[in-house]
Structure formats: structure tokens, C-alpha cells
């Protein structure tokens, strides 16, 4: 089950991890909060900042996103194109993350929540004695719109 976080929640999470909510981190986090489900890259965040006449540089955006990811506040994702993307890590740590469908034509990313791997994880634990703490699933293919455009 996913949760919704406010800026105060995120500030508290940073403080619990012995970090301050700097003005730059707050602006970067607010952009991520304002674009739910968009899986923004550092360049995307920087572009939004530039459009809003912000003076925050790309290097600061990268550092902020990396730190927030390392602290577990953001989830860093790779979709096979060499570009890291970020979203608020709103997943209950006792549950698995959502999964992604990635269109290899237009780059659209679609999230889905169903977790069909639970039986496989139980089988792995039973047969191999290995407890799976998390997994990521990414399916690559063509979205509905790209399929229709090709017909």
C-alpha cells in the first residue's frame, strides 16, 4: 500500500537521518511532489527549475537527488536508457515496490501494482533458504498508443 507524503513528512525524514532540509533540497523535493508518477530525471528537474527562473544549478540537483535517494526518501530507478529517474519512495518498506512497463518506442513509463512474484519468492525461500527482501520488475515493449500508430 502506498502512502502520500507532505513536505513536513519529508523534512522530518531528513532530520531523522541527521540531515537538514536546505532550500535547494526543498525545491527539488517540491518538484518531485508536484509531478507524481512522472519519474523525473535530474535534467527534467533542472529544466523545471530553469523555467521557474531558479538559480539552482544542475550539479546541485544531482547531489540533492542522490542524497535523497541514498536516504530512502526518493526511489532511484533505471529504465534501460542510461538515465536515472526519481520519485518519492512512498512504498511501505514491508511491501514490495510497484513495477514498471517501459515503452521502447516513446519512452512512456506505466506503473502497475500487482505482485505476481509472491509465490516465486515463497518457493525460493522454501527450496533455497533465501529470503527475498525486495525485487524490481521492468517490462520493455510497446505501449498501446505506439502499437496503434504502427498499424
Q: Which residues are annotated as a binding site?
A: 97, 103, 106, 118, 135, 143, 146
HEC string for the chain:
CECCCCHHHHHHHHHHCCCCCCHHHHHHHHHHHHCCCCCEEHHHHHHHHHHCCCCCCHHHHHHHHHHHHHCCCEEEEECCCCCEEEEECCECCCCCCCEEEEECCCCCEEEECCCCCHHHHHHHHHHHCCCCCCCCCEEEECCHHHHHHHC
Q: Which residues are annotated as a binding site for Fe cation?
A: 97, 118, 135
Query: Where is the binding site for Zn(2+), in residues?
Result: 103, 106, 143, 146
Amino acid at each position: 500500500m502506498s502512502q502520500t507524503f507532505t513536505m513536513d513528512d519529508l523534512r522530518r525524514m531528513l532530520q531523522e537521518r541527521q540531515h537538514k532540509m536546505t532550500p535547494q533540497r526543498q525545491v527539488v523535493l517540491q518538484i518531485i511532489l508536484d509531478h507524481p508518477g512522472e519519474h523525473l530525471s535530474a535534467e527534467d528537474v533542472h529544466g523545471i527549475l530553469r523555467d521557474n527562473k531558479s538559480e539552482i544549478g544542475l550539479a546541485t540537483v544531482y547531489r540533492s537527488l542522490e542524497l535523497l535517494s541514498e536516504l530512502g526518501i526518493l526511489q532511484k530507478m533505471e529504465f534501460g536508457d542510461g538515465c536515472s529517474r526519481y520519485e518519492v519512495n512512498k512504498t511501505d518498506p514491508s511491501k514490495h515496490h510497484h513495477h514498471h512497463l517501459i515503452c521502447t518506442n516513446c519512452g512512456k513509463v506505466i506503473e502497475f501494482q500487482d505482485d505476481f512474484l509472491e509465490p516465486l519468492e515463497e518457493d525460493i525461500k522454501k527450496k533455497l533458504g533465501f529470503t527475498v527482501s525486495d525485487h524490481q520488475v521492468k517490462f520493455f515493449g510497446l505501449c498501446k498508443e505506439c502499437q496503434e500508430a504502427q498499424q
